[in-house]
Amino acid sequence: MQREIMTSIPFLSQPSVEAENTEADLAVAQNLKDTLDAHRNGCVGMAANMIGVSKRIIAFVDKELGDRITIMFNPHITARDGAYDTAEGCLSLRGERRTLRYQRIEVTYLDRRWRERHAAFTGFTAQIIQHEIDHCDGVII
């Protein structure tokens, strides 16, 4: 189900809690996917707090997988390399802001079947994931 976009800075500034293997958190992931899909024309990633749920769940359009929406539960960056400065926008905020990103990252996360995964991402996909993990950490760029 598509959800409304959260724009409250105090809410978005709070770190999210770990997701759990529950029907409720799986439903949040589906709502996140549906909401991202509805905003695809101007958005490539979302975190659960952007739909008003303070859980470590992200969804992003994976360019390397044919623009498929990928879901990650409890993502954490474990390695990063190749720092660069960029400007990003956000569906929850107005305008663009400057931020530091990394060309290559490694992420540990849980998939929809609650299996632990570890993967490397580069380029724009890595940038999207970093932005969404910042949301999970309560970091607003």
Angle at 117 between CA 73 and CA 64, to 5 degrees: 90
Told to judge if 132 belongs to the known catalytic residues of this protein, a careful annotator would answer yes
Going by C-beta distance under 8 Å and a sequence separation of 6 or more, which residues neighbour residue 53? 28, 31
CA distance linking residue 4 with residue 54, whole number of Å: 14
Q: Which helix (H) or strand (E) holds 38?
A: helix 23-38
Structure tokens at 100: 């530091």
Catalytic residue among 4, 106, 116, 132: 132
Only one residue has tokens 């992420």, namely 107
Residues with catalytic function: 132
